[in-house]
Amino acid sequence: MSYAICAEARSGSTLLCLSLIQLGIAGDPKEYFGGHVLGRPFQKESFEDFIARTLAYSKTSNGVSGIKLFMSHFDAIRRSSPRFGEIKDEQILKKLDLDRIILLQREDVLRQSISLYLASQTQVWLLAKDKNKEGVTRKTATPAYNRRKIHRAMRSITLNYERWQQCLANSKTSYLKVSYEELTTNYELTMKRILDYLDLPIPTAHSFETMPTLKQADELTEHFVRRYQNPSKVDKIFDVLDDFYVSVIRQKLKLTVLKSLELFKLRLDYNPG
């Protein structure tokens, strides 16, 4: 049995994956399709062979395979080889040939975006509980508030959530939807619901009394939430201008650059004989 956790950054995917990994019977769900893995084109194997090898690598001894997917991974797959340049999201999902899909989303996209911004600034992506220590490493510096980066993170996350919905609908794939909020507030019940969906038992003596990660949101997070929710008139104007830039101008510039590169390539390939 194979499954994927389909999510976006700062949605609780690490918490969920660690919780499943600790069971020892639910595969090894990690980011096997990120840009750091697919940085080079497939030269020695087909994409299908890479999928088969990855799913085999992510298996536990009972034959269950788990992976974690972000929409950025689909983009990385398309960049990895010219063969995949035009492949659609749902076609990639179909190629993975998964038995189960868990769609993990965060209802509060603003806090998710702020969490993403803070993590990118501090490079503290995880506060894991350490059985040998009382404390954990905290943020070493206080990031400055940056509305533009938070706003763009919100826009990107929202669009990717829409892509997931469209991808699953177009591929006619059934799935279990889980929210970050229910996972963190009703951890034990949510984990039991997920295992029931995966048709996996709870190992003897295993307990879901505590989560394997610590909450990172603090007063700084709440301060940024309040600032974002109370924009000035200038902030509102810049939000509109930034949306226009990202959705229109930057896309046109990207297309212009791609066309220029294609023309340049054609000139390099031209051989009059």
C-alpha 110/C-alpha 154 separation (Å) is 6
Q: Return phi, psi of residue 236, to 5°.
A: -65, -40
Q: Which of 32, 120, 43, 112 is nearest to 73 (CA)?
A: 32
Give the per-residue pLDDT at 265: 45
Tokens found for residue 273: 């004989």
Instruction: Tell me the C-alpha to C-alpha distance, in Å, between residue 133 and each of 51, 85, 120, 130, 211.
Output: 39, 48, 25, 5, 16
Q: Which of 80, 111, 97 is nearest to 11 (CA)?
A: 111
C-alpha 227/C-alpha 101 separation (Å) is 36
C-alpha 77/C-alpha 94 separation (Å) is 14
Q: What residues have CB less than 8 Å from 36, skipping those under 6 apart?
A: none
- Count H helices and E strands in the chain, helices first: 11, 4
How far is Cα of residue 122 from the mean position of the Cα atoms in its chain?
Answer: 19
Tokens found for residue 261: 């590169």
Q: Please list the ranges in the chain whose pLDDT falls under 50.
A: 39, 41, 131-138, 258, 261, 263-273
